[in-house]
């Protein structure tokens, strides 16, 4: 089975040109709704957008199977992109796709979206039997995986799930990802005039610096655990002793005990150190998502490997250090892995993708649906 390369390229260019700002995904939603309905899917929208303050919810598509007892498959990708996005002009050069440098390309995650659409068309063109197929295009994946967190999980009706949102080439099968906590710590000092009476103030900036210096472990903790202090802010003028500094960071691990330990270590160190040096400190901790680990010999991995075998792709079972919609799909009861689509240099205007990888993502989808029907 051959993909229609011209159709895929044309459609990919159309999709990445559509504005897709997080929580403003309605134009993409409407475009994809029409595409799925054209493929015979029943399409619905959940209330995630209302919960998050967006202009649309997650898009759900359902196509009943024509082979009783076949494995039911969920295919997922996200509709939003990081800034600057929308209005993307795709540049083709030497078998690669780039933007013109003024926006991201949008392969994250429109390569996943396009792989799903073309994979479904290949299945229908083949006339092959298949089980129930469910498609989930999510909102607000960027900046916190919030769309899938707020999904209507009662709508899930699949045995296995595939999130097409990985940076590896088609054939990469990511079976595990970390959980994440974010924290924000406010350090309160005391304001005063920096030139007339600085001795009456408590400088929150200096005390925050001392507290941060007491943090001994950050960055790469071990092979499955990381911690990052990413934002610090405070102060209003150079002649005013600053009375407030905020520190924001996150901790991630595929091991829940390690995750809790490094979270507590960093937060408690900053809070206790700030207080030791004369400030007051308050911490807010937010559990963003839980880790997941799918067994290498599970059905969801087996079907993906069969798709690789069918199309001559090298199967690579891997782990990742980032979160995705797969974290919540797993948490809500559907075993889900992340599939590589070949996207590279994501979240930058230097993002690119090989044309071959774009086409092969559709073959992975088609191969999985065929393998699911044969199981």
Any catalytic annotation for residue 309? no
Q: Which of 25, 80, 109, 118 is catalytic?
A: 80
Q: Per DSSP, which regions of 83-146 are E strands?
A: 90-93, 96-99, 133-138
Q: How far from 93 is each of 98, 111, 125, 221, 352, CA to CA, in Å?
A: 8, 17, 30, 40, 10
Decide if 36 contacts 135 (C-beta within 8 A).
Answer: yes
Any catalytic annotation for residue 141? yes
β-bridge mates for residue 287, sequence order: 181
DSSP 8-state assignment for residue 47: S
Q: Which of 108, 118, 132, 141 is catalytic?
A: 141
Closest CA to 367 of 122, 159, 135, 131: 122
Angstrom distance (rounded) from CA 24 to CA 374:
40
Decide if 282 contacts 318 (C-beta within 8 A).
Answer: no
Cis peptide before 109 (omega within 30 of 0): yes
Closest CA to 291 of 180, 194, 201, 371: 180
- Catalytic residue numbers read 80, 141
């Amino acid at each position: 089975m051959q993909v229609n390369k011209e159709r895929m390229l044309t459609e990919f260019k159309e999709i990445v040109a559509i504005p897709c700002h997080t929580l403003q995904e309605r134009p993409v939603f409407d475009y994809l709704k029409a595409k799925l309905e054209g493929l015979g899917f029943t399409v619905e929208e959940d209330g995630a957008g209302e919960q998050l303050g967006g202009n649309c919810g997650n898009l759900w598509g359902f196509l009943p199977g024509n082979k009783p007892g076949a494995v039911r498959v969920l295919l997922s990708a996200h509709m939003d992109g990081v800034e600057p996005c929308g209005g993307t002009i795709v540049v083709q050069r030497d078998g690669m796709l780039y933007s013109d440098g003024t926006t991201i390309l949008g392969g994250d995650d429109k390569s996943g979206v396009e792989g799903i659409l073309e994979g479904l068309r290949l299945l229908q063109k083949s006339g092959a039997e298949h089980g129930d197929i469910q498609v989930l295009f999510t909102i607000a994946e960027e900046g916190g995986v919030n769309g899938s967190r707020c999904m209507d999980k009662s709508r899930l009706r699949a045995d296995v799930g595939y999130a097409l949102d990985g940076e590896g080439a088609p054939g990469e099968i990511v079976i595990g990802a970390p959980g994440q906590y974010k924290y924000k710590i406010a350090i309160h000092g005391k304001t005063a005039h920096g030139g007339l009476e600085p001795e009456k103030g408590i400088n929150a900036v200096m005390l925050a610096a001392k507290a941060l210096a007491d943090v001994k472990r950050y960055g790469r903790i071990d092979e499955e655990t990381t911690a990052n202090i990413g934002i610090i802010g405070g102060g209003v003028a150079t002649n005013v002793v600053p009375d407030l500094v905020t520190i924001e960071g996150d901790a991630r691990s595929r091991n829940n005990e390690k995750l809790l330990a490094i979270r507590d270590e960093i937060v408690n160190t900053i809070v206790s150190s700030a207080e030791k040096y004369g400030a007051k400190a308050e911490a807010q901790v937010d559990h963003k998502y839980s880790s997941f680990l799918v067994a290498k010999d599970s059905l969801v991995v087996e079907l993906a490997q069969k798709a690789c075998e069918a199309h001559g792709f090298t199967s690579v079972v891997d782990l990742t250090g980032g979160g995705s919609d797969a974290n919540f799909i797993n948490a809500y009861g559907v075993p889900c892995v992340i599939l590589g689509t070949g996207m590279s240099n994501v979240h930058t205007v230097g993002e690119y993708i090989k044309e071959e990888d774009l086409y092969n993502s559709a073959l992975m989808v088609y191969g999985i649906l065929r393998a699911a029907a044969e199981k």
